[in-house]
A and B are shown apart, each in its own frame.
Chain A
Amino acid sequence: MASKIKVFTIASLALNVAVASLLGMQKGNYVSQAKEAYEKKADAYYKQAKNIIDGQNSVIENNAVLWNLACSANLQASSSKEFAILEKRIVNPSIFSSKVTGSPDGKGKLRTVSWNSDYYIVASFDKSNKLVGVNADALLGNAEAPALSEEPEATDDVEETVE
């Protein structure tokens, strides 16, 4: 009988230690689960938002260069040569490209300055290379802010701006 009590006592004391350590770890387990879930969600959201915000920043930045060129040409350029000088001063050739084509009436020239297929301006020149005007239509109506594809509850107030 005495030896049975001894065994039970040892087992019970061992159980004391085990349950006490479980109790100690209990809080840590919940905290680490919450931490892991937060990090996963926030990190995915960060990557997605960063892509969108950086993409929009480059649209703003590059379009500002085109607007600047268009407005400066309106104010300062009267010929294709003067336009080219302005373009060289304002536009970074590693980001923007220029293309010269004939105008639809076959008499003049069109110079398209773009940084991608959606965003460009077109300067038109007559047969004596005089600047007739700049068309900036492509810079209007295309600056669309893509929505975040996965919106956690907290993003209800993110507005989609469609320009």
Chain B
Amino acid sequence: MDSKKMKIILAVSVAVNVALLVIMFALKDGYAEQAQASYKVATKAYTDQVAKTVNAQNDFIKRGNLVWQLTFEVTSQNLSKSALDARIAALDEGKILDPQTSGDVTTISCGEKCKVSFTFKNGKFVAADYQELVALSPSATFKVEAPAPFSFSEK
């Protein structure tokens, strides 16, 4: 190969080297930033998902304790309808129990698809049904999933 051709190849190669280095440094910050952003997004998505479960469980603990306490008080003291209403008003500060009365039956909510009912006759306690609360499986309701695989979100 003659020296002229060789010089041209060398010049092109050096130019390519310079271009590649410029591109590499230009992309470096962008990649670092995107990687950092992807890490933050993925971590936050996961911790938010876990926080949702923890919060739901905490809410249930609050509500479940209240419902059990009321059920216990009604069954141990044979509370009348008006006494139960008074206890609900005193204990349910957050208005989470959603008490409903239909005829002789008063129900309070222990969560989605979970109700405890009290039957009264002439205002006097007759029966309590708390089977839905007993049957509720916390381990099926409150569970935390393993983290999803990492995904790099390119801008």
Min CB–CB distance B66 → chain A (angstroms): 9
**Residues A49 and B31 in contact in the complex (CB < 8 Å), given A41-B43, A42-B42:** no
B83: Cβ under 8 A from any A Cβ:
no
A139: Cβ under 8 A from any B Cβ:
yes
| Chain B contact surface mostly | helix
Min CB–CB distance A153 → chain B (angstroms): 7
**Contact between B55 and A159 (Cβ–Cβ < 8 Å)?**
yes
A138: Cβ under 8 A from any B Cβ:
no
Mask: chain B, 54-86; 1 = CB below 8 Å from A; 0 = not:
110111111011001101100110000000000
Contacting residues, chain A, for B13 (C-beta < 8 A): 9, 12-13, 15-16
A20: Cβ under 8 A from any B Cβ:
yes
**Contact between B75 and A161 (Cβ–Cβ < 8 Å)?**
no
**Contact between B130 and A71 (Cβ–Cβ < 8 Å)?**
yes
**Contact between B138 and A154 (Cβ–Cβ < 8 Å)?**
no
- Tell me the residues in window 1-36 of chain B with beta carbons closer than 8 Å to chain A beta carbons: 3, 6-7, 9-10, 13-14, 16-17, 20-21, 23-24, 27-28, 31-32, 34-36
**Contact between A50 and B144 (Cβ–Cβ < 8 Å)?**
yes
**Contact between B6 and A49 (Cβ–Cβ < 8 Å)?**
no
- Tell me the residues in window 1-57 of chain A with beta carbons closer than 8 Å to chain B beta carbons: 1-2, 5-6, 8-9, 12-13, 15-16, 19-20, 22-23, 26-27, 30-31, 33-35, 37-39, 41-43, 45-46, 49-50, 52-54, 56-57
Looking across the interface, which residue of chain B has its beta carbon closest to that of A144? Answer: B61
| Chain A contact surface mostly | helix
B133: Cβ under 8 A from any A Cβ:
yes
CA distance A22 to B36 in the complex (A): 20
CA distance A75 to B77 in the complex (A): 10
Which among A61-69, A81-89, A91-99, A106-114 touches the partner chain? A61-69
Looking at the complex, which one of B51, B69, B152 makes contact with A158 (CB distance below 8 Å)? Answer: B51
CA distance A23 to B17 in the complex (A): 11
Mask: chain B, 102-145; 1 = CB below 8 Å from A; 0 = not:
00000000000000000000000001101001101111001110
**Contact between B20 and A5 (Cβ–Cβ < 8 Å)?**
no
In this complex, how many residues of chain A approach chain B with their Cβ under 8 Å: the count is 66
Q: Which residues of A contact B (CB under 8 A)?
A: 1-2, 5-6, 8-9, 12-13, 15-16, 19-20, 22-23, 26-27, 30-31, 33-35, 37-39, 41-43, 45-46, 49-50, 52-54, 56-61, 63-64, 67-68, 70-71, 74-75, 133-134, 136, 139-140, 143, 145, 148, 152-155, 157-161, 163
Sample 12 A-B pairs with CB under 8 A, ordered by A number.
A2-B6, A12-B17, A13-B9, A13-B13, A26-B31, A30-B34, A42-B147, A53-B144, A71-B76, A136-B72, A154-B44, A155-B50
Q: Which residues of B contact A (CB under 8 A)?
A: 3, 6-7, 9-10, 13-14, 16-17, 20-21, 23-24, 27-28, 31-32, 34-36, 38-39, 42-44, 46-48, 50-51, 53-55, 57-62, 64-65, 68-69, 71-72, 75-76, 127-128, 130, 133-134, 136-139, 142-144, 146-147, 150, 152
